Structure 1
Amino acid sequence: MNKKIVSYLLICILLGTFSSCNKALDVQSSRLAPEANSWKRLEDTRASLMGMYGLMRAALAEDNAHWLWGELRGGDFTSTSRSDLKAIINGNLNYNYPTLQTLSDWRRFYAVINSASTFIEHSGTVRANDQRYTEANWKADVAQARVMRAFAYFYMSRIWGNVPLITTSEEGEFVAKPATDQTIILNFAETEILKCINDLPGVYAGSNDPLLPNTYYGQGPGSWYGILITKYSAYAILAHIAAWQGHYIDCDAYTSHVVNELSTSQIQPSAMRVTGSNYLSDPTQSGNLFTGNNQRQILAFAFGATENVGSGHLEELTLAAPFVSKSVPDMYVSKDSITSIFPDWAQPGIAPDPRFGRDSVSKLYYEKCFTNFTGEIPVFSKVKCVINSNKGTLPMFNSAIVFTRLEEIKLLRAEALYNIWGPASPEAVALLNDVRSQRGVAVYDSRTDLLDAIFAERRKELIGEGWRWYDLVRYKKIKDPTFVKNMVNTKGIYWPVSVSVLATNPKLSQNSYWN
């Protein structure tokens, strides 16, 4: 385990610790320094904290795992030629492909957990030794570590269900620790966040924030938007923990903090216009969703403007000509799927959807989400942060891994309100229409089932952002008893545990569906 941790940290350091727009992040982790010298100065806590974020980014980025876990299974993408992607799409997660074996290994997350536990246990030493390390700063840092550890457990529980619960750094080299029931894991994650959420600022270095109104590690608020865990990103994580368990009253309470406190959080909606170039990932537009870090990201893991890494960008899988020199992408959304996702695209009298529609005068298709629709293979171009000018055989990308944003949370709250109040919930309708109107499309038609409309909107709005499989599971838990019987009750919604993990821990057993 220690070797694994050092390996991940080396990766993070070589990559520049994930956001070159913030010099504070480009710091070597103190985990590589001798332990006796690791917890003395303010600079040590900064290095360790940023290293923890780097480890989480590495866990999500390796083999483009964030999207392969969340977007492919039961999703809308088709693989052009890669057999490993086809296996995931078809639910054959136990096939013997190297990519699937890597994706089945949860040890990448235990590197994050161990790093967070180490910070929680040792950062108080710096507080005692360095007067520059204020109590508010220390509490906020420890709270970030606790929330990150909880987030890692939540993320793992969605993928594998039951996983070993480790809460101290001394347990980092566990050999024979059994898995803990998912309910206990998620209760631990929720409790951890609630214990420390009031120590988190709404905005780091925000002039009106009561906890940390001045610079944070020498940087102003613009350096930290979307990158660090705030009070509101913690509430967003809590909301998803609750929704995954079907605790919709709690989900409503948690999402209300995000949706109703925008003036305090400074979170902004994701811009989109029917015409013009301003869109979610246009690298020529400042403050777009996927490039760098910005106020449109509630929780994201950004890459620096000049970082070029082996994985971690959706564009590697989805882009082809005219954006890069590849003739066909690794995966794409078929024309039949596109028209199914956006069924109103050709209906007369209905406002065109900028995510996929057709201009009523020119009859040309909007190419904001899908380029070359009239060709054989459309290119999924929603995320297209290509930063090198020659677009050669080794193109550089810098899109962030965005976990959640305002529109996603609004639709999640609409889902919660539907499950609390039923199809007559006016607030659920209002939230759905809020997202739809922001995209310039018609309001919800009450002749359509409200829950179906909410999840259909999530499918349109969040395609390519890693939500599709988890949305399907939540939807089918409500709507499809057969799915619950055949997939949920048999643990078929989870990934198998990797062979290498099982081989090193005889107290673990394979998820029953994959035996």
Structure 2
Amino acid sequence: MMCVLLASFALLFSCKKILDPEIIELPTADNAITSSADVEKGVAAAYSFLRTVVPDKVFLMGDVRADVFSSYSQSSNVRIETPIATNTAAALLNNGGGNWNQFYTVIAQCNLLLEKIPLITTYDAALRRRHIGEASFIRALTYFYLVRFWGDVPLNLKSVDTENLSRAKQEDVFNQIKADLDIAITNLELDYGDGDRAVRASKGAAWAIKAHVLGWLQDFAGCEKLCDSVITRGPFSLVTDTTNLLSIFVGKSGEGIFELNFDASLREVQKNRVYNRTLGRPWYTDQSDGGGGTDKFILSPTRQQLNKMFTPGARDGRLFTWFTRETYLQGVNNDRIFLGKYRTLQVKGDTSSQNINESNIIITRLADIMLLRAEALASTAVGRAAEAAVLLNKVRGRAFATPYTGGGDIQDTILLERRKELIGEGQYFFDLVRTRKLDKDSKITAADWYQKGAWLLPIDQGIIAKSNFMITQNEYWK
């Protein structure tokens, strides 16, 4: 089950220097890694593998599953993604929600790097530290996705492991995640000044992901301190031009902390369900797959869902920046409103395959961490709600939204703000689980969602069988 063949592989890479388009071969266990140049290629491959698995998985299971999006084809001509929010096994499994194999490809590559780096004798010390930090960071982030999706998961720290591994306890996996992030924090710099800001791991990115890890584990005091480090010590700043918020998704903005890069000039474009399921005409016009261009298949908020986020008539600049103005004003097909965050298309697109989008996938950005810190500050464990309100209003302020002046439950207010700010970035389902409020917006019932494990994904039966049944199904899905 855990054996991963790391063979020569044609890759589209994502960072200008480390991920040079000329690099097309991946070091393998057979030819080993014998130089820092080999490690550069290996790190490039790890980023590329991460970029392959994250966009679809996290959007579908982090946003669509949270019932943030719906489809005109809810009852007829139903697209495969449409029923995900119903949290049924068929809907989840049909959309890759049971398959963790690609995540383990990323992990195996990081394991290989971390095995080989100590064996290389001629190595610039600063570059060695950076490579160790990056491989540790990518492995930690990948395991963080795994454990949030499936709970107990196999914990493999070997590049090639032919043994069947059973599922490790979440506690053990989280201990490994935290250890890897601590290594990343120790070895990475805040800014490398090499033109690859946000698309390669940095100390700030490791702080941010560890803050999310501690928030998930309900350690809000630790979470708050790490968020504060990102905000006060990191080289990050909010994009303040409200008319140009889409620059965040073009990529490498001052707000970006860690993101997956796509750049047509580097031969990096892609087709995935984040892009071509949230944009219709005129951005996509091909109808060959029943998706983009056929507006009734678009995954988008309904007017009712949008009104739950944004009070009708209230001022908020995100209505015309996150969403396409034309569809917000007029709606399409049963009053659907297109999410417009991913409108960055290659000018001369491949309309036959829709493989034309070069928007970056944001893993974490400053607004995310500001709201996460606000959440931690407002928790009963920290109890500094006034400071939480200040951060909340900084995020609202750049969208010219009405400031929060008190009243209601500030924790619910922050959760709603995260939904408004981060819609389409794969965060909201995780937010609902972390805050224990999954029954608030999703279709998962309060009786099932946490104690019975309905928030976890099922595991594909093929994975279970190939493990000789050492892998067991999550309890809720048996």
Secondary structure of the corresponding residue to residue 363 of structure 2: strand
Kept in 2, the 8 Å contact 1:270–1:296? The answer is: yes
Task: Report the secondary structure of 1:442's partner residue.
Answer: coil
Does 2:46 correspond to 1:79?
no
Whether the aligned pair in 1 keeps the contact of 2:112 and 2:158 (CA below 8 Å) is yes
Change (3 A) 1:141 1:113: same
The yes-or-no answer on 1:379 pairing with 2:328 is: no
Deviation at 1:79, TM superposition (A): 2.2
Aligned residue for 1:35, secondary structure, equals coil
Which of residues 163, 186, 203 in structure 2 aligns to 1:174? 163
The answer to whether the aligner puts 1:66 opposite 2:58 as a matched pair is: yes
2:456 is matched with which residue: 486, 494, 499? 494
Q: Is the 8 A contact 2:199 2:258 kept in 1?
A: yes
CA distance in 2: counterparts of 1:443 and 1:417, whole angstroms: 18
8 A Cα contact 1:313 1:401, kept in partner: no
Aligned partner of 1:165 in structure 2 is: 155
Q: 36, 48, 55: which one pairs with 1:42?
A: 36
What residue in structure 2 maps to residue 218 of structure 1?
A: none
2:317 aligned partner, one-letter code: P
Q: 1:45 to 1:226 in 2, by over 3 A?
A: same
Do the aligned partners of 1:160 and 1:495 also contact (CA within 8 Å) in 2? yes
Higher mean C-alpha deviation, range 73-82 or range 367-376: 367-376
Counterpart in the other structure of 1:215: none
Are the counterparts in 1 of residues 204 and 230 from structure 2 also a CA contact under 8 Å? yes
Q: Report the Cα distance in structure 1 between the residues aligned to 2:384 and 2:177, rounded to whole angstroms.
A: 32
Aligned residue pairs, count: 455
Equivalent residues of 1:29, 1:50 under 8 A apart: no
**Cα offsets for 1:321-344 (capped at 9, x unmatched):** 13222140431111111122101x
1:295 CA drift (Å): 3.3
Question: 2:390 — aligned with what?
Answer: 430
For 1:28, the aligned partner's letter is I
- Aligned residue identity for 2:340: S
In structure 2, the residue matched to 1:399 is 359
CA distance in 2, matches of 1:331, 1:485: 28
1:501 alignment partner AA: I
2:220 is matched with which residue: 240, 248, 265?
A: 248
**What's the offset of the Cα at 1:252?**
0.8
Give the corresponding residue for 1:119: 113
Structure 1: distance between partners of 2:272 and 2:261: 10
Q: Displacement, 1:487? A: 1.6
After TM superposition, give the deviation of residue 39 of structure 1 in Å: 2.2
Q: Do the aligned partners of 2:220 and 2:381 also contact (CA within 8 Å) in 1? A: no
2:306 partner amino acid: I
The structural deviation recorded for 1:49 is 0.9
1:55, distance to aligned residue in structure 2 (A): 1.1
> For residues 145-164 of structure 1, what are the structure 2 equivalents within 5 Å?
145-164=135-154
Look up the equivalent residue of 2:434 and give its one-letter code. Answer: R
Q: 1:400 to 1:312 in 2, by over 3 A?
A: farther
- 1:196/1:385 CA distance change after superposition, 3 Å: closer
Paired letter, 1:336: Q
- The match for 2:409 is 449
> Which is further off, 192-201 or 244-253?
192-201
Residues 71 and 469 in structure 1, CA contact (< 8 A), matched pair in contact too: yes
What is the DSSP-based 3-state SS (H/G/I as helix, E as strand, rest coil) of the residue aligned with 1:242?
helix
Structure 1 spans left out of the alignment, 5+ residues: 207-220, 281-287, 357-365
CA distance in 1, matches of 2:448, 2:93: 28
1:4 Cα deviation after fit: 5.2
TM-score, length basis structure 1: 0.82
Could you say if the C-alpha distance between residues 97 and 156 of structure 1 is closer, same or farther in structure 2, counting changes exceeding 3 Å? closer
Q: Structure 2-normalised TM-score? A: 0.88
Deviations 1:154-199 (A, max 9, x none): 110010001011112242x332x11011122112211221244121
Q: In the alignment, is the contact (CA less than 8 A) between 1:4 and 1:111 conserved in 2? A: yes
2:13 alignment partner in structure 1: 17
State the one-letter code of the partner of 1:182. Answer: Q
AA partner of residue 26 (structure 1)? P
Q: Distance in 2 between matches of 1:493 and 1:253?
A: 28
- Aligned: 1:346 with 2:313: yes
Say which of 206, 213, 224 aligns to 1:234: 206
Aligned to 1:279: 245
Name the structure 1 match of 2:263: 304
Q: Which moved more, 1:334-343 or 1:191-200?
A: 191-200
Change in Cα spacing, 1:242 to 1:146, as seen in structure 2 (3 Å) is same
User: 1:416 aligned to 2:404?
Assistant: no
Is the contact between residue 249 and residue 341 of structure 2 (CA under 8 Å) also seen in structure 1?
A: no
Q: CA deviation at 1:6?
A: 3.9
- Residue 371 of structure 2 contacts residue 418 of structure 2 at CA under 8 Å; is this kept in 1? yes
2:187 match: 199
Q: Residues 449-494 of structure 1: CA distance to partner in whole angstroms, max 9, x if unpaired?
A: 21111011111100111111111112335998x9675221111111
Segments of structure 2 that go 5 or more residues without pairing to the other structure are: 286-292
Map of 1:257 onto structure 2: 229
CA contact (8 A) 2:2 2:104 kept: no
Kept in 2: contact 1:292–1:398 (CA 8 A): no
> 1:483/1:412 Cα in 2 relative to 1: closer, same or farther (>3 Å)?
farther
Paired residue for 1:91? 87
CA RMSD of aligned residues (A): 2.6
SS in 2 for 1:149: helix
User: Could you say if the C-alpha distance between residues 272 and 501 of structure 1 is closer, same or farther in structure 2, counting changes exceeding 3 Å?
Assistant: farther
Match of 1:267 in 2: 236
Distance 1:140 1:330, change over 3 A: same
- Tell me: CA distance 1:457–1:334, structure 2 relative to 1, closer, same or farther (3 Å): same
Letter in 2 for 1:194: D
Offset of residue 392 of structure 1: 4.0
Amino acid aligned to 2:13: T
Question: Which residue of structure 2 aligns with residue 359 of structure 1?
Answer: none
TM-aligned CA deviation for residue 441 of structure 1: 1.5
Q: Is contact 1:74-1:468 (8 Å) kept?
A: yes
- What letter matches 2:260 in structure 1? F
1:139 aligns with 2:120: no
C-alpha spacing 1:244/1:498, structure 2 compared with 1 (3 Å): same
CA distance in 2 between counterparts of 1:309 and 1:179 reads 35
Distance 1:393 1:423, change over 3 A: farther
Q: For 1:296-353, what per-residue CA distance to the aligned partner results, in whole angstroms no more than 9, with x for missing partners?
A: 211111112254655346221110113222140431111111122101x315xxxx10
Segment of structure 1 superposing worse, 246-255 or 292-301: 292-301
Indicate conservation of the 8 Å contact 1:305/1:398, yes or no.
yes
Equivalent-residue separation in structure 1 for 2:26 and 2:283 (angstroms): 39
